[in-house]
């Protein structure tokens, strides 16, 4: 009698996730650190000297929140104020679109993904569907230092979450949800850790030294 089950062994599962880009197609560096540790500040330096395109997940979420007609605006706004992690489907899709647009329009293939992944599900989804990261640049900073910086930034940032109440919630989320992501990558030997306590110039010197250990040099020195 003919077999009734289809011979599917050699077929690829149709929903098997495939990243949009491989590590050969693009260099992706995740940039993590607590709120106010100086991620954005150091990304600006790296953008200038190394030719990276810089995407801050928080900035993309705030843009989406303010986009007229966005179905996610209210959800994002509430999560940001409460220091919660926005559902990863939203953030991963925003990053994916931005990365793809940049490659199409500018041909640049070096990306700093700042403030991401803040939760394990974001890390797994991004590496499965967008691109595996080269490593995570982690800015290590005690809470009292970060709090001082955030309160100072709050004097002019206009951000809904640079206030004492939101900062407390953001720190809790960072410790409970984001640090495990750093620990996960650390186990894989894919974390570059830098102390974020000294002044910005000193921190950047350390960043440059550590990137060189990974074979990355400023563009002007190539």
Q: How far apart are CA 37 and CA 197, in angstroms?
A: 8
Q: Is 39 part of any known ligand binding site?
A: yes
- Smaller CB separation from ligand ADP, 27 or 147: 147
Site for ligand ADP in 144-203 (CB under 6 A): 149, 152-153, 196, 199-200, 203
In this complex, which beta carbon is closest to ligand C5P, that of residue 100 or of residue 219?
100
The answer to whether the beta carbons of residues 172 and 84 sit under 8 Å apart is no
Give the residue from 216, 135, 140, 129 showing the smallest Cα distance to 175: 140
**84: contact with ligand C5P by CB under 6 A:** yes
Q: Is 65 within 8 Å of 160 (Cβ atoms)?
A: no
Q: Residue 30: how many CA atoms within 13 Å on its side-chain side?
A: 30
Q: Does 154 bind ligand C5P (CB under 6 A)?
A: no
51 contacts ligand ADP (rule: CB under 6 A):
no
For 68, half-sphere exposure in the C-beta direction (CA atoms, 13 angstrom radius) is 0
Site string for ligand C5P, 172-211 (x = CB under 6 A): ----------------------------------------
Q: How far is the CB of 57 from ligand C5P (least distance, A)?
A: 4
Q: Are 7 and 119 in contact (CB under 8 A)?
A: no
From the list 137, 123, 114, the residue with the least C-alpha distance to 193 is 137
Binding string, residues 23-52; x marks residues near Mg ion by CB under 5 A: -----------------x------------
Determine the Cα–Cα distance for residues 77 and 88; give it in Å rounded to an integer: 15
Interface with ligand ADP (CB under 6 A): 33, 35-41, 149, 152-153, 196, 199-200, 203
Annotated binding-site residue numbers for a ribonucleoside 5'-phosphate:
62, 84-86, 115-118, 122, 159, 170
């Amino acid at each position: 009698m003919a077999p009734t089950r289809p011979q599917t062994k050699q077929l690829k599962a149709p929903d098997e996730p495939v990243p949009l880009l491989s590590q050969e197609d693009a260099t992706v560096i995740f940039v993590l650190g607590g709120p106010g540790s100086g991620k954005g500040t150091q990304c600006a330096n790296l953008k200038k000297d190394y030719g990276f395109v810089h995407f801050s997940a928080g900035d993309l979420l705030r843009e989406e929140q303010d986009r007229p007609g966005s179905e996610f605006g209210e959800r994002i706004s509430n999560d940001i104020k409460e220091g919660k992690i926005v559902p990863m489907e939203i953030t991963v899709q925003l990053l994916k679109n931005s990365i793809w647009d940049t490659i199409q329009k500018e041909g640049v293939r070096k990306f700093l993904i700042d403030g991401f992944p803040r939760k394990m599900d974001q890390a797994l989804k991004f590496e499965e569907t967008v691109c595996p990261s080269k490593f995570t640049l982690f800015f290590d900073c005690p809470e009292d230092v970060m709090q001082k910086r955030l309160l100072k930034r709050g004097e002019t940032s206009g951000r809904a979450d640079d206030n004492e109440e939101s900062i407390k919630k953001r720190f809790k989320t960072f410790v409970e949800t984001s640090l495990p992501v750093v620990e996960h990558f650390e186990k894989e030997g894919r974390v570059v850790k830098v102390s974020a306590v000294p002044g910005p110039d000193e921190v950047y010197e350390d960043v440059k030294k550590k990137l060189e250990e990974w074979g990355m040099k400023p563009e002007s020195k190539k």
